Structure 1
Amino acid sequence: MSQKYQNLFSPGKIGTLELKNRVVMTAMGTGFANPDGTPSERIIKYYEERAKGGVGLIVTEVTRVNDDHGKASDGQLSVSKDENIEALKVFADRIHQYGTKLFVQLHHPGRQNASAAIGGQPVVGPSAIPCGLMQEETRALTTEEVEGLVEDFVNGAKRAKAAGIDGVELHAAHGYLLNQFLSPYTNKRTDKYGGSFENRLRFIEEIINGIRRECGDFPLMVRLSVDEYLDTIGAPEPGIVLEEGVKIVQALEKLGIDAIDVSSGIYETMNTIVEPTSYPQGWRTHLSQAVKAAVNIPVLAANVIRKPEFAEELLSSHTIDFVGIGRGLLADPEWVNKAAEGRECDIRNCISCLHCFESIFAGNLECAVNPRMGRELEYDHLQKDGQGQTVAIIGAGPAGMESARVLALRGFKPVIFEKEATVGGQLLLANKPPQKEKIDWLIEYLDNQLKQLGVEVRLNTMATVEEISKLSPYAVFIATGADAFIPGIEGSNLEHVYTTTDILNGAVNLEGKNIAVIGSGMTGLETAELLAEQGNTVTVYEMATQIGAGAYFQNLIDVTTKLARLGVGLHPVHKLHKILDRSIVLEKLDTNEMVETPVDAVVLSLGVRPNNTIANEMKGNFANVKCIGDVNAPREIAQAMSEGYTEAFNLEVKELATV
């Protein structure tokens, strides 16, 4: 075991429960459970991979305690009925075989839910105040219903204990029901559960007392948003701020909880719950520091912890007692074992791209950098049957590199042809806007894996039919990506007209210019940010009725907030009509008015087109050709990695002829 991480790999205790190390997999929804709330084989395998990977404690995703108005999704775990106990016991046993402990996170979504998830009835909360994100009709719970929910939570803990689960976590964070009762922002009640601090605390207090009464010293942890960050959205009142959050934790400690899991934010301040890539490791360390200084129970926190050395630093400085890792364990289930073995360069780090959250909102959790995540059953055994046969791969972007990695593990001999001087492909553009350096982690990981596996990479080499024919390849993988699209607009060929690729690859450097960026996809917006950071005056024009249409809302909020600080103008319903020597002509689509505005330079961000010329040529000369990534259709890192992985995993092998 690596001597560098003595704190990280020291045992720790939560209540009476001893954990083998200080790494906790924090709760994150998957939607993989059976419709009745029992653990499916898919979800067990998913968690089992993380247990096998060395995690000390796993906290399940949100697990419902109430089937009437507490259901968050069809694929959600449930402890709402006795019939689920036996299946939960099977789940616990599977996790325990690796020496990993298991907590169930008891949850009710409250107002942060969709009416469709609960049969079309209004969602419920402490008060009839709709969630700003969900925008659902919200009904205030009656006093009797709240009392009933206390019993639901207590009974959920009893069932978890009966199933051999090691403890429970009450989800009082991220704006869900327990959080809603604690916060003056969402709790306007006038009964015993609202008003004063003591009354707002009463709901969770009764739950904790009930669990202690029914379950004894059963380990009990609370996840709490100690700061809702409502000031970041200009809310009319602050809700829970850090000072009050610490006060709540102190009250919970007196009630006898065994540990506190420090978090922040609610749905309206989503980027402080689960952060976009611009947020650095440890950005909210001050929250856990404040809590740690005020209580004596163990403190756990998820704090954009990506690297084991940073986790060790937080532990050694007594900022936290346990390291919470969520997305990092989606990206690499073996994060813990690799750190323990001193194989940090083999860790596939989370790049905070938020594809996981975008996908879970769409109904099926995925990880952009780990295509196997959630498909552990489907891709359980990697066949080592390549028999040394050569596979030519054209392009060293994420799709090409991932396919080469998997093919090499299977025993093939991948040979990559890359026309540029370095590997990375489109990632070498994606990492250029401000605060996108986590993209480098993926490039470094893939490059390192290829070197370890002995994959031949021919840089500065154009792939031709002649050169590939010399290899007598078993298969040819085409991963040539896509190129910037230049429309046939009058003036688009002028010298002061560029594409985002020209800016991001450093071919063109602009300073002190008045620049129009045409197109407001994420590439256009991030390029506008880079240009503004470089001292230019930048305005973005977009044909659609809204800026960033189709972009995931968290990433869009993040970049547009930064653009506002930089003074970048954003103008939807403006169609580029033509480009002149010192100006552009735009059509305002809402009024059909033509407007001319002066510019020094124009940057086009109007999408990309697949670079498939060579694909057609290869298909005409080789029988076994696979197209992966943007060459199929321009998309994102997730799709490139997924196609690279699956095509390499599924490549059929014909037996070599014997002599």
Structure 2
Amino acid sequence: MKYKNLFSKGKIGNLELKNRIVMPAMGTSLASSTGEATQELIRYYEERAKGGCGLIITEITRIDSETGVGTPNQLSAMTLNHIPQLERLARTVHKHDTKIFVQLHHPGRESHGRVINGRQIVAPSPIPCKVCQEMPRELSTSEVEDLVKKFVTGAKIAQTAGIDGVELHGAHGYLIGQFISPYTNKRTDKYGGNFMNRMRFITEMIMGIRSVCGPNFPISVRISGDEFVEGGLNLEGAVKAALYLESIGVNAINVSSGLYESGYTIIEPIAFDQGWKRNLAQAVKNAVKIPVIATDVIRKPDFAESLIAEGNVDFVALGRAQLADPEWGIKAMEGRDEDIRPCISCLHCIEELEGCKTIKCAVNARMGREIEFDGIDKNGEGRTVAVIGAGPSGMEAARVLAEKGFKVVLFEKESELGGMLALGNKPPKKDKLTWLVEYYDIQFKKLGVEVRLNTEATLEALKALNPYAVFVGAGSNPVVPPVEGIDRENVYNVSDILSGKVKVENEKVVVLGAGMTGLETAEYLAVRNNKVTVADMLPTIGAGIYPANLATVMKNFQTHGVNMLPGHRLSKISEGFIELVNTKTNEVIKVEADKVVLSLGIRSNKALVSVLEEHFDKVRVIGDADKPGRIAEAVSAGFEKAYVLE
């Protein structure tokens, strides 16, 4: 076996696990509004169990409906009514020799009054979270004692349902962590002050769980190895907490990091490398004798293997990696690393959740919809399908069509696969996009997809194939504003820059458009010693971009001195400078510019579609040809329309 450590058996307490792969808790919003595990949620977890995961830890599970609501459609363990579906979940996962823990959770101050019917949120102390920006009410001593009982009840409900163990969520700045951390606990009663008092809340929970669930029921505690805020729980404090938790009978420590105020250290954006925080788990592992689980942007099996082999952790927590590919475990066990669909750390999953939607994955359109898309029908019967455009939508359509048994011919006018992915990987720290293109390239070779690079999909070429269907994933044009000087030789589109067709170094460059593409292009230019200015009509730079994705770009902007001009529209391009108009005051300013880069979006071009529809019966329009969007929308469109082709 290629990865002997990763697929060796492990133990948490007396519970034996078939391997060292853990699926950590991630919110889904797939439960019912009353907290039961739905068929969709059960199937979602079953796919990860069937796919080779050793231990699944459920999403944050509610123990209190008054002040403890994390998300509206959240798994719950509060009453006897929650037992039947939890039991069904446990039995389903157990069919695949996978164990399951329920993660018990209360958000504390990291919440909003609107999700608890307008009531004031609560916390150990009246200190607002800088992200949620609501003043919490300090819990009374008796209220804290009542919450302890609710956590204990949650554990007993889980045990009664046949769940194998529980995890107490003391990380990420949630309520348990708020009590542990000196940053958020300023109480003067028995639950605040010195270390032992700050640990009292979780201590009473653990003692209570032991009293009702027995000495052999596994308990894991998730902690932040570092909260990454001044005055917060640091690594020294986390190690001290882990040692104490071990001393009172906890069976495993699950090491994560951060709280909402340092949120990009919890769910890291694309710029974070595998293993960036391995020192946190290593320090805890060096201190305790009980098993250590840890997240660490773990994507590839060889890296997961190295963490265990080097004694960094006992179990690897693969969260988003198993959203992207539920068969991560089986493929790694069989040595098929190249077949693992990679997570690209785009944060689409958490962005959807925070938008009060169900969880989704940008690269796995089935995720969360496993019942709806229940396997791929092999109904292609060798019929030819042409796919035009090898961007995310076209590549996904080609993959699915080939799996269905169609003979797929993929046309791409450029010299490489990927479309905008082949450009999007050029800015700093975007190599995970390359992983995705490489994945498709390998799948095409295995599935027999005929890839025609440097080839226009002309009507004659398509007619020669006599295709059963034509999928159109190419057909968009960059937006070019009608202003004086826009046709000057020093004006370029993003693709000119990121493709390397135009080399720009040590020059003054203005990037027009502060969406993610424009910002990353500016970042690309800035690290090449250009003096870069970003301008946008909107009043803020990066409007609509998920904050964690924006934060890493802004950090680079600060490092490289990128100038930002929100609230300005282009009025004229001249030799050596451009003119911008302030959208509020109408003041005109001049900005020096040797080169100007347009990143003002794209528009669908349906001209090709209209021609094709005159000659072919089945024309399916996907990706930017249908509606410009991000990777998630493109992959989903390609998958769905290929899936239903009969």
With the length of structure 1 as denominator, give the TM-score of the two structures. 0.96
Aligned 8 A contact 1:72 1:114 in 2: no
Of 351, 371, 377, which aligns to 1:358? 351
Of 255, 273, 277, which aligns to 1:280? 273
Of 153, 160, 165, which aligns to 1:155? 153
1:186 matched to 2:180? The reply is no
Aligned 8 A contact 1:490 1:577 in 2: yes
CA distance in 1, matches of 2:453, 2:565: 41
Corresponding residue number in structure 2 for 1:317: 310
Corresponding residue number in structure 2 for 1:125: 123
Corresponding residue number in structure 2 for 1:468: 462
Aligned AA (2:325)? D
Q: Which residues in structure 2 correspond to 1:251-330 (within 5 Å)?
A: 251-330=244-323
Corresponding residue number in structure 2 for 1:517: 511
CA distance in 1, matches of 2:139, 2:475: 53
CA distance in 2, matches of 1:93, 1:486: 58
SS at match of 1:379: coil
CA distance in 2, matches of 1:209, 1:314: 32
CA distance in 2, matches of 1:298, 1:566: 43
CA distance in 2, matches of 1:426, 1:542: 21
CA distance in 1, matches of 2:327, 2:396: 18
Deviations 1:302-344 (A, max 9, x none): 1000000000100000000001100000000000000000111
Worse overlay, 557-566 or 481-490: 481-490
Worse overlay, 7-16 or 596-605: 596-605
Of 192, 207, 210, which aligns to 1:209? 207
Corresponding residue number in structure 2 for 1:613: 607
Deviations 1:349-394 (A, max 9, x none): 1010111111111122100000000000000031111121111111
Corresponding residue number in structure 2 for 1:65: 63
SS at match of 1:269: helix
Q: CA deviation at 1:484?
A: 2.3
CA distance in 2, matches of 1:596, 1:84: 64
CA distance in 2, matches of 1:260, 1:611: 54
SS at match of 1:194: coil
1:401 matched to 2:395? The reply is yes
Corresponding residue number in structure 2 for 1:224: 223
Corresponding residue number in structure 2 for 1:424: 418
Corresponding residue number in structure 2 for 1:550: 544
CA distance in 1, matches of 2:610, 2:427: 33
Aligned AA (1:296)? K
Q: CA deviation at 1:137?
A: 3.5
Q: CA deviation at 1:84?
A: 1.1
Aligned AA (1:258)? N
CA distance in 2, matches of 1:403, 1:226: 42
Corresponding residue number in structure 2 for 1:116: 114
Corresponding residue number in structure 2 for 1:36: 34
Q: CA deviation at 1:245?
A: 1.0
CA distance in 2, matches of 1:135, 1:70: 17
Corresponding residue number in structure 2 for 1:82: 80
CA distance in 2, matches of 1:41, 1:272: 32
Deviations 1:272-329 (A, max 9, x none): 0010000000000000111111111111101000000000100000000001100000
Of 426, 429, 435, which aligns to 1:441? 435
Aligned AA (1:636)? R
Aligned AA (1:324)? A
Cα–Cα, structure 1 residues 481 and 566, in superposed 2: closer, same or farther, change >3 Å?
farther
CA distance in 1, matches of 2:18, 2:486: 62
Deviations 1:519-563 (A, max 9, x none): 111111111111010111111111111001111111111211211
Corresponding residue number in structure 2 for 1:531: 525
Aligned AA (2:7)? F
CA distance in 1, matches of 2:84, 2:463: 59
Deviations 1:208-247 (A, max 9, x none): 11111111120000000121001xxxxxx42111111111
Aligned AA (2:235)? L
Aligned 8 A contact 1:85 1:159 in 2: yes
Aligned 8 A contact 2:144 2:201 in 1: yes
Aligned 8 A contact 1:587 1:594 in 2: yes
CA distance in 2, matches of 1:536, 1:598: 12
Corresponding residue number in structure 2 for 1:233: none
Deviations 1:68-88 (A, max 9, x none): 111122210000111211221
Worse overlay, 69-78 or 160-169: 69-78
CA distance in 2, matches of 1:83, 1:608: 51
Corresponding residue number in structure 2 for 1:334: 327
1:569 matched to 2:563? The reply is yes
Aligned 8 A contact 1:431 1:437 in 2: yes
Aligned AA (1:585)? E
SS at match of 1:24: strand
SS at match of 1:5: coil
SS at match of 2:144: helix
Aligned 8 A contact 1:426 1:481 in 2: no
1:246 matched to 2:206? The reply is no
CA distance in 1, matches of 2:475, 2:258: 38
Aligned AA (1:342)? G
Please, which runs of 5 or more residues in structure 2 have no aligned partner? none
Q: CA deviation at 1:132?
A: 1.1
SS at match of 1:152: helix
CA distance in 2, matches of 1:111, 1:300: 26
CA distance in 2, matches of 1:489, 1:336: 55
Aligned 8 A contact 2:475 2:608 in 1: no
CA distance in 1, matches of 2:548, 2:140: 34
Q: CA deviation at 1:90?
A: 1.1
SS at match of 2:444: helix
SS at match of 2:431: coil
Deviations 1:107-145 (A, max 9, x none): 001111121211111111111122111122321111110
Corresponding residue number in structure 2 for 1:455: 449
Aligned AA (2:73)? G
SS at match of 1:602: strand
Aligned 8 A contact 1:394 1:418 in 2: yes
Worse overlay, 180-189 or 148-157: 180-189
Of 620, 642, 645, which aligns to 2:639? 645
CA distance in 2, matches of 1:81, 1:566: 55
SS at match of 1:480: coil
SS at match of 1:78: coil
Of 171, 193, 216, which aligns to 1:195? 193
Deviations 1:402-433 (A, max 9, x none): 11111111111111111122211111111111
SS at match of 2:56: strand
Q: CA deviation at 1:481?
A: 4.7
Q: CA deviation at 1:614?
A: 1.3
Corresponding residue number in structure 2 for 1:584: 578
SS at match of 1:620: helix
Aligned 8 A contact 1:480 1:612 in 2: no
Of 373, 378, 381, which aligns to 2:372? 378
SS at match of 2:52: coil
Deviations 1:182-233 (A, max 9, x none): 1111111111111111111110011011111111120000000121001xxx
Worse overlay, 414-423 or 219-228: 414-423
Aligned AA (2:305)? E
With the length of structure 2 as denominator, give the TM-score of the two structures. 0.98
CA distance in 2, matches of 1:145, 1:607: 52
Of 621, 628, 645, which aligns to 1:634? 628
Q: CA deviation at 1:611?
A: 3.7
Deviations 1:58-106 (A, max 9, x none): 0000001111111122210000111211221111000000000000000
Aligned AA (1:167)? G
Find runs of 4+ consecutive structure 1 residues off by over 3 angstroms.
none
Q: CA deviation at 1:168?
A: 0.3
CA distance in 1, matches of 2:167, 2:459: 59
Q: CA deviation at 1:613?
A: 2.4
CA distance in 2, matches of 1:379, 1:136: 40
Corresponding residue number in structure 1 for 2:97: 99
